[in-house]
A and B are shown apart, each in its own frame.
Chain A
Amino acid sequence: MNFGVLPLRAIAFQGLFLLIAIALEAIVYFRQLGFDYKTSVRYAASVNLFSTFIGWLLFFNLQALLPQPLKEQLISYFFFERFFINPWAPSIAPLLALSGLIVFIGIFLLEVKSLDLLDLLLGKIKTEDAVLSKEDFRTSRLRQQGIIFKSNSRAYAVLVANAYSFSAILILLIIRSVEKLR
């Protein structure tokens, strides 16, 4: 194989975006979920790495399934940062907007789920259950409401965190495209 062309810029950009996303999301977790600083950075890192990995898996499988004209658009964008004029060209912008929305919602759901998964792996849920079993019935009902509220606030925190990180990355991309036009 001839490695005259390597996706080094893609790797550099993804590294940068991941660092920004982890930093911003860690701040949000730190404020909203009451973790200490170390824990929130680690949670943000695991959750972001996990969603990135799932995203790559989906990308590799979907690009093989794309119809030929769409795949050519992808290749044209990948290598030349511009779309190729073929019958699919007018529908590229709506498709991109739609896929952006799907990516945002998908990553949000994935991160909420992976936070739970992380708790399970780190054995955090067990301690909460243990605390809960000690309470008597009446207070436990109150507690339960509290827990429901807490899980809601957790989803809210993830949503806010994602909104921050996506906005930051979007601003960077806009700056880059403006820089290019000049």
Chain B
Amino acid sequence: MLNSFSQFISLFPPALIPLVLLAIALLFIAPLGLFAFNFLAIKTLYEELRKIFQDIFQLILSNKWDSAKTLIWLSVFSWAMSLLTESFIQIFIAFCGWLFLIPGIHWLMYEEKKIKDFLTIEKVLIAPWITGALICFFLFATPENLPGIMVVTWPIISAIIAAPPKFIKPGPTYKVPDPPVRQDLIIMVLFNLLLSCWLQLSYSTQVWLAEYPSLRADDLTNSSFVVQTQSSETVHSQGYDILVQAEAALTESLQGQSWSQVERWLVNFDDRIREFNRQIIQRLPAKAENAYWQIEGRVLAGEYNVQLFAVWKGPSSNNAGYHLAKTCQISQVMPVDIKTAPQTPSPVGSVAPNTQVGTANVSCGAVTKAIKGQPDMAK
């Protein structure tokens, strides 16, 4: 330490050494002096800090035992405890935590003046709806999903929570509220029931869409009931999957076949398409809309172009329905090509007999967008 210091000093010319020492001394002393000078200011700063921390502690910890904060701390405690345990004990302690948390938060919203003012909108305190949401979550939610019943019962449970305070008069004893209050209660409960119905309607919409998923891909702007919050461009109708599977089936039956076999296959093209229809539509996930999808196809002019259609015959935004199309080209691969292109994975045995005519190669284009109307079946 001292060694390095003397090394550092020796860097300077000897005449300057006192000056350097003085500078170093000042460098250390100046902040101290400044600190001494600002001691009062720092003291007040500490006092402010202490006040803030005190406020925070007072906000978190209550000096009364019968308060909302006690309940919330109990729930935090049980949550922490439940992390230490396992299996059914953990579930039980977490359950107790919820039992503390829900009344705690409900109480807090009524106890704290600031929170209560914040939650009052147009003279209506929305605290019961927050408690209702917590209760619904506690009753119905599972780690995997949030079931529909949770959302649908939320307004009803909130109305049930909001009503009882009106039935208690300072005493505290039970009493039937005055007619004007009763009238407001009736409207409040009925309005919440209506809200439940609206939520249920959104779930019913989802149920219908689950049975008819291709409706999502259609144009819904005409409806006076629903709006599309998600662009229909991003959604594939089931026709897309059907065409992808049809392509796989076509490739499976033609790829690597000899050219004469391909021609024989194409002679019975309509029967083949009917076969595809049977196989692919049956293999789709079971939904009510499957009956409305149909695969059609035609052989275009030329050597050979096949067009596959997935036709929607169910409800749609225009009269004639719509269809999706995919064009596949079946080309002849000459035996010479196979020899020069060793990456072709066809086994040697199956290629050898067909050396005179060559084998088929299937290559398909992309699925088109939905085209209005039925497909044009002219050859």
CB of A3 within 8 A of CB of B202, answer: yes
> Are A6 and B226 in contact (CB-based, < 8 A)?
yes
Per-position 1/0 for B179-220, Cβ under 8 A of A:
100111011001101100110111011101100100110101
How far apart are the CA atoms of A56 and B194 in the complex, in Å? 8
Q: Which of B186, B216, B314 contacts A72 (CB 8 A)?
A: B314
> Are A78 and B225 interface neighbours, CB within 8 A?
yes
A67 contacts the other chain (Cβ, under 8 Å)?
no
- Interface membership of chain A positions 35-72, coded 1 if the CB is closer than 8 angstroms to chain B and 0 otherwise: 00000001001100110110011001001000010001
**3 cross-chain pairs, A with B, having the tightest CB-CB distances, nearest first:** A4-B230, A76-B315, A49-B190
- Cβ–Cβ < 8 Å partners of A14 in chain B: 198
Q: Can you name 9 extra interface pairs (CB under 8 A) apart from A6-B227, A10-B201, A45-B187?
A: A5-B216, A49-B193, A53-B190, A56-B200, A72-B315, A78-B225, A81-B225, A84-B315, A124-B179
Contact A75 B224 (CB under 8 A): no
CA distance in complex: A132, B8 (Å):
113
A52 CB → nearest B CB, Å: 6
Q: Is A80 an interface residue (CB 8 A)?
A: yes
Q: Is B229 an interface residue (CB 8 A)?
A: yes
B226→A9 contact, CB < 8 A: yes
Interface size class of A (residues with CB under 8 A): 35 or more
A49-B187, A68-B288 known; A7 vs B222 contact (CB < 8 Å): no
Q: Is the CB of A5 within 8 A of B209?
A: yes
Asked if residues A46 and B228 are in contact (CB atoms below 8 Å), the reply is no
List residues of chain A with CB within 8 A of the CB of B314: 72, 84
Q: Is the CB of B346 closer than 8 A to any CB of chain A?
A: no
The reply to whether the CB of B38 lies closer than 8 angstroms to some CB of chain A is no
- B191 touches which of A4, A49, A118 (Cβ 8 Å): A49
Instruction: Indicate if the CB atoms of A60 and B215 lie closer than 8 Å.
Output: no
Cβ distance A92 to chain B, nearest Cβ, rounded Å: 13
Q: Spell out B's residues near A (CB within 8 Å).
A: 148, 179, 182-184, 186-187, 190-191, 193-194, 197-198, 200-202, 204-206, 208-209, 212, 215-216, 218, 220, 222-230, 235, 288, 314-317, 319
Q: Which residues of A contact B317 (CB under 8 A)?
A: 80, 82
Q: Complex formed: what's the CA distance from A80 to B116 in Å?
A: 45
Indicate whether A122 reaches chain B with its CB closer than 8 angstroms: yes
Which of the residues B190, B205, B235, B288 comes within 8 Å of A6, measured between beta carbons? Answer: B205
A79 within 8 A of B: yes
- Best-buried of B220, B224, B225, B288 by chain A (most CB within 10 Å): B225
Contact with B along A1-42 (1 / 0, CB 8 A): 111111111110110000000000000000000000000001
Q: How far is the CB of B293 from chain A (nearest CB, A)?
A: 14
State whether B179 touches A5 (Cβ < 8 A).
no
A121 an interface residue at 8 Å Cβ cutoff? yes
Closest Cβ neighbor of A57 among chain B residues: B197
Q: Is A123 positioned at the interface, with any CB of B under 8 Å from its CB?
A: yes
Interface pair A123/B179, CB less than 8 Å apart = yes
A121 touches B186 (CB 8 A): yes
In the bound complex, residues from chain B placing their C-beta under 8 Å from that of A122 are 179, 182-183
CB pair A46 B227 closer than 8 Å: no
26 of the cross-chain contacts (CB-CB < 8 Å) are: A2-B206, A4-B228, A5-B209, A5-B216, A5-B226, A5-B227, A6-B202, A6-B205, A7-B202, A10-B226, A11-B198, A49-B190, A50-B190, A56-B194, A56-B197, A56-B201, A72-B314, A75-B212, A75-B315, A79-B218, A79-B226, A79-B315, A80-B316, A81-B224, A82-B317, A121-B186
Chain B residues, Cβ within 8 Å of A81: 222-225
Q: Which positions in A face B, CB cutoff 8 Å?
A: 1-11, 13-14, 42, 45-46, 49-50, 52-53, 56-57, 60, 63, 68, 72, 75-76, 78-82, 84-85, 118, 121-124, 176, 180
Query: In the assembled complex, which residues on chain B have CB atoms less than 8 Å from the CB atom of A78?
Result: 205, 208, 223, 225-226
Interface contact B179-A79, CB-CB below 8 Å: no
In the complex, what's the smallest C-beta–C-beta distance from A86 to chain B, in angstroms? Answer: 9
Docked complex Cα distance between A84 and B218 (Å)? 14
Chain A contacts of B206 at CB under 8 A?
1-3, 5
Report the bound CA distance from A176 to B222 in whole Å. 12
- Set of chain B residues within 8 Å of A180, measured between Cβ atoms: 222
| Distance of B176 from chain A, by nearest CB (Å) | 8
Given contacts A49-B194, A56-B194, contact A7 B225 (CB under 8 A): yes
In the complex with contacts A56-B194, A76-B315, A80-B315, A5-B220 CB distance below 8 A: yes
- Report Cα–Cα, A50/B197, bound state, in Å: 12
**Taking CB as reference atom, which chain A residue is nearest B317?**
A80
Q: For residue B316, which residues in chain A have a CB less than 8 angstroms away from its CB?
A: 80
Other-chain contact of B224, A10, A50, A60, A76 (Cβ < 8 Å): A10
Closest approach, in angstroms, between the C-beta of A161 and any C-beta of chain B? 17
For residue A63, which residues in chain B have a CB less than 8 angstroms away from its CB? 204
With contacts A9-B225, A80-B317 taken as known, whether A118 is within 8 angstroms of B201 at the C-beta atoms is no
